[in-house]
Amino acid sequence: MLDYDRKWADYARWTPPLQPPQIDFPFAPPGRYQLPSGLTSNEVNPLSRNGKVGFHSHALLSAGVIAQGQMHRLSQPMRNAVSERDRARTRIMGDSGGFQVLTMNLAINDIARDHQLRWSERYCDGALPLEVPSAAAHTPGNRYFGNFDLALHDSEESHQFFEDHYKGDTGMMRLAVMQGHTRQEVQRWYGVMKRFHWGNVARGGAMRFSFTHEVRFFRQMYSDGYLENVQWVHYLGTGDPGVGLLLTALRRALSRKLGRNVLVTYDAVTPHLYAYADQKAIVGVNWSGRGPTLLGVPLGKVGRPTDAEARAPLPGSAVGCLDLTLADLRPRPQPNANGWDEPGRILLSSHNLDAMANAIILCNQLADLNSGLSSPIPHAILQARQVIESMFDDPNIERELRHKSRQLNLFAKLRPEQGELL
C-alpha cells in the first residue's frame, strides 16, 4: 500500500472522481473474480489503508453517477468503499449531478434536490447543491440552452433548498457554486449566490481557467468578506497538471492571507476513462508544449497479451509495486477469452489513479525547485504562480495582471475577445 496523503504537502489536491465499478469491487463476493498475484478484491480499495493499492484520502463521488438519471436511486443504501470507509481518515466531495443536467437533460425539482441532499449528508464530507452548469446555457440539446436566467434561477433554488433543509448532524460542509462563461455571467451568478455564506466555494464555468479573472474574483470575494470563514475551495472538472500548479499557488495565497490551512481541490475522471474507454496506462509526464501533461501509453484492446506486455512493468503505482505487468491486467479464465475483463480494468484504473497523483505531485515538487531556465516547468507557469501567490500582498497586482496576462491565461478555454480574459 502506498499512502499518498502526506505526499500532497501544501499542494492543491487532485481528488479522483470515483466510479461505481471501483467502489463496488472491494465488496464483491469472495471468489467472484480471478486476480493475479494472489490479490483479493477487498485489497483493491483506494479508500482503505489496509489494501494493496494506493490509499487516497481525498476523493470525489457524484450523485449523478450513482443516480444515472433516476434520482430516487440515491435513497437506496450503499455498501461500497465510500459507505464503509474510515471517515476519520478520508474526505469525500459529493458532486451534485450537475453534469447529468447537461448531458442527460436531468430535471431539477425539489424531489431531486431532497434525494441529492440526503445522499450527500449520509455519505459525503462536503457537497454542492444540485446546480445547473453555466455551460448548459451555451450547449445545444438541453432545456437551458440560450437561457442563462433559467439556469441561474434553478441553481439559486437548489442553494436555497440546501439552506432550508440541511440538517448538519453529520458535519457535511456545503459549498456554494460560483459559475459563468464570461465575466458578466460570473458577476451575476456571484451577486445571487453570495447570500449563501457557507464558508466554502466551488468554481465552475469557463472563466475559472482564466487566472487574471480568478485573482480579481478572489480578491473581490475577500474584500466583500465572503472568504472570512472559507475552509474548502473546489475546482470542478480539471486534471491538467499545469492548472494544478496554479491552484497550488492559489491555496498558498489564501492560506497565508487567512492565517489558516485552506484546502483547495480539483477533480478529473481521467484514470477511469483511460482504463475503461481507451485502455491506456498513465506512465509519467510529457514535458513538451505549453506545460506538463499526462503521458499515456495505449495498450492492446483484444486478443492475448503481447510478449511486450508480459515484460512491461507498471511504473509509479502501488499496482506496479506488486510486480504486476500489463499482461497481468488481462487474466484469462478461459483459453479463448478476448479483451479486458473487469479485474483487469479495475487494476488498470487503480494504477492510473496512482500514476496521475504521482505525476501531479512531481510537477509541484519540480515547480518548487524553481531552477530557472533548467526547470522542466515552463517559465510562463512559474511566473504565473508568483503573481497568484502574491495576489493579496502585491500593491501593484493590477499592473502584474496586465503584464502577465498571457502567462496567467495559458489554460483559458475562451479566446480573449474584447479583453474578456484581461
Determine the Cα–Cα distance for residues 306 and 40; give it in Å rounded to an integer: 25
> Which residue in this structure is represented by grid cell 499512502?
3
Q: What is the DSSP letter of 210?
A: -
Q: What average pLDDT score do residues 268-281 get?
A: 88
Q: What percent of the chain has pLDDT over 90?
A: 67
Q: Rank 212-221, 292-301, 326-335 by mean pLDDT and report only the highest.
A: 212-221
Mean pLDDT of the chain: 89
Q: What average pLDDT score do residues 261-275 get?
A: 93
Q: What confidence tier does 302 reach under pLDDT thresholds 50, 70, 90?
A: low
Mind listing the pLDDT tens digit for each residue in 137-182? Answer: 999 988 899 999 999 999 999 999 999 999 988 999 999 999 999 9
Three-state DSSP class for 361?
Answer: helix
Three-state DSSP class for 106?
Answer: coil
pLDDT value of position 314:
74
Res. 57: pLDDT tops 50? yes
Determine the Cα–Cα distance for residues 76 and 345; give it in Å rounded to an integer: 26
Contact 282, 351 (CB under 8 A): yes
Please state which of the ranges 103-112, 307-316, 352-361 shows the lowest mean pLDDT. Answer: 307-316
pLDDT value of position 340:
64
Res. 418: pLDDT tops 50? no
In 10 A of CB 147, how many CB atoms? 15
Q: What percent of the chain has pLDDT over 70?
A: 91
The predicted model scores a pTM of 0.93
Contact 54, 5 (CB under 8 A): no
For 137, the grid coordinates are: 446555457
For 271, the grid coordinates are: 484514470
- C-alpha distances (whole Å) from 301 to each of 38, 271, 353 are 24, 17, 20
Res. 219: pLDDT tops 80? yes
Determine the Cα–Cα distance for residues 340 and 330; give it in Å rounded to an integer: 5
Determine the Cα–Cα distance for residues 169 and 261; give it in Å rounded to an integer: 24
In 10 A of CB 118, how many CB atoms? 14
Please state which of the ranges 10-19, 213-222, 336-345 shows the lowest mean pLDDT. Answer: 336-345
Three-state DSSP class for 239?
Answer: coil
Three-state DSSP class for 4?
Answer: coil
Q: What confidence tier does 417 reach under pLDDT thresholds 50, 70, 90?
A: very low
Segments in 224-341 forming alpha helices (H): 241-258, 270-273, 307-311, 318-321
Determine the Cα–Cα distance for residues 141 and 107; give it in Å rounded to an integer: 13
Contact 202, 190 (CB under 8 A): no
Q: Provide CATH code, domain 11-269.
A: 3.20.20
Q: Indicate the domain borders of the chain.
A: 11-269, 272-369
